[in-house]
């Protein structure tokens, strides 16, 4: 059975699916979760606090999914490609994940900031991750799962492979492939992955074969 906090976050996420954040009312979120409005304020302090918690949960869920996807792909040896697949699926399933990854926040989404009341009543909330923060976190987790070789060159190559896959996934998220022929104008299902797999495979193969003298290589 979910806790009151989880029920409130579920209710806020459900409301956000049909309403812009500015139209989501705290009283309605509390009613949808089956708790009192006071309970809601006790948990989050304000609507900004609720927004931060909602976005934080989306970020944590995405990162947990990264770990799961990478470990599932370990036996196949295609961790970078699986990282890309999961990133596209997660962004497609959750608008907050997509905004976190791309930095593109539409008018319908929460844009939380620390209110004066929040700053007076408690310590500042942890900063939400930026797209650059997530890239670093995801790349380092992917490299850790893949393992590093005895030479720094090996780790640098793994970093390039993971970062390349992540960046390609973000480009697909921002500008999805379009179906040809009947039904043109609709986005290609990411499960098929036809538009991007050859590109990812080529880039990853290249990254593992390119020699570099630096201990760390970053795709600009």
Closest CA to 85 of 194, 3, 191: 191
What SS3 class is residue 149? coil
CATH architecture of 1-44: Orthogonal Bundle (1.10)
The model's confidence at residue 23, banded by pLDDT at 50, 70 and 90, is very high
The model's confidence at residue 185, banded by pLDDT at 50, 70 and 90, is very low
pLDDT value, residue 202: 55
Q: What is the pTM of this model?
A: 0.75
First-to-last alpha carbon distance for the chain, in angstroms, is 46
Q: What angle do CA 218, 219, 220 make, to 5 degrees?
A: 105
Work out whether the CA dihedral 103, 8, 122, 63 comes out positive or negative: negative
Task: List phi, psi (to 5°) of 129.
Answer: -70, 140
pLDDT above 70 for 190: no
Most confident of 7-21, 70-84, 183-197: 7-21
Write the pLDDT tens digit of every residue in 131-179: 899 999 999 888 888 875 444 558 888 888 889 899 989 988 887 655 5
Answer for the pair 167, 80: CB distance below 8 angstroms, yes or no: no
Q: What is the mean pLDDT of residues 41-57?
A: 94
pLDDT value, residue 52: 94
For residue 136, CA distances in Å to 13, 69, 164 come to: 27, 17, 12
């Amino acid at each position: 059975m979910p806790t009151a906090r989880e029920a409130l976050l579920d209710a806020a996420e459900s409301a956000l699916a049909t309403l812009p954040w500015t139209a989501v009312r705290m009283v309605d979120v509390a009613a949808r979760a089956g708790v009192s409005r006071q309970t809601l304020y006790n948990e989050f302090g304000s609507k900004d606090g609720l927004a931060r918690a909602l976005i934080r949960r989306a970020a944590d869920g995405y990162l947990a999914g990264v770990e799961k996807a990478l470990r599932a792909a370990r036996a196949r040896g295609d961790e970078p490609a699986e990282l890309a697949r999961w990133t596209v699926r997660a962004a497609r399933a959750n608008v907050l994940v997509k905004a976190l990854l791309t930095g593109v926040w539409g008018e319908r989404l929460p844009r939380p900031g620390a209110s004066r009341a929040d700053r007076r009543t408690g310590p500042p909330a942890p900063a939400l991750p930026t797209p650059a923060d997530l890239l670093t976190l995801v790349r380092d987790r992917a490299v850790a799962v893949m393992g590093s070789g005895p030479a720094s060159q090996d780790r640098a190559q793994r970093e390039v492979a993971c970062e390349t896959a992540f960046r390609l996934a973000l480009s697909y998220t921002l500008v999805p492939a379009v179906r040809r022929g009947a039904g043109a104008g609709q986005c290609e299902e990411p499960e098929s992955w036809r538009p991007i797999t050859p590109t990812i495979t080529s880039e990853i193969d290249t990254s593992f074969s390119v020699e570099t003298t630096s201990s760390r290589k970053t795709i600009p």
